[in-house]
Amino acid sequence: MYPEYFLYLNQKGNIMHQKLSEIIRERRSMLHLTQEDLAALAGVGLRTLKALEVGKGNPSLDTLQRLAEVLGMEVRLEVKRIDR
């Protein structure tokens, strides 16, 4: 039972030092899913997922969320305080 944790997405779709593609792939295999499984479960085209996992693409929020849902992840917006 380990706690939830966060991954920051930077401007290039990377997360900390990991790429979004790596996160998706790691999480997918952690869940013992093939690309085909995940694509089907998420309702995303297989070709789309494949492209994403090799680092190509700029997914729509919808696509990202469909995948995140199946992968047990959640897309968040962190709102920072405003310094005055």
Interface with DNA (CB under 7 A) = 28-29, 34-36, 43-48, 50-54, 57-60, 62-63
Q: Are 7 and 16 in contact (CB under 8 A)?
A: yes
Minimum distance from CB of 1 to DNA (Å)?
27
Those residues whose C-beta lies under 8 Å from the C-beta of residue 69, and which sit 6 or more positions away, are 42
Those residues whose C-beta lies under 8 Å from the C-beta of residue 25, and which sit 6 or more positions away, are 53
**Which one among 29, 31, 45, 54 touches a second copy, defined by CB under 8 A?**
31
Interacting residue ranges for a second copy, rule: CB under 8 A: 1-11, 13, 15, 20, 23, 27, 30-31, 58-62, 64-66, 68-69, 72-82
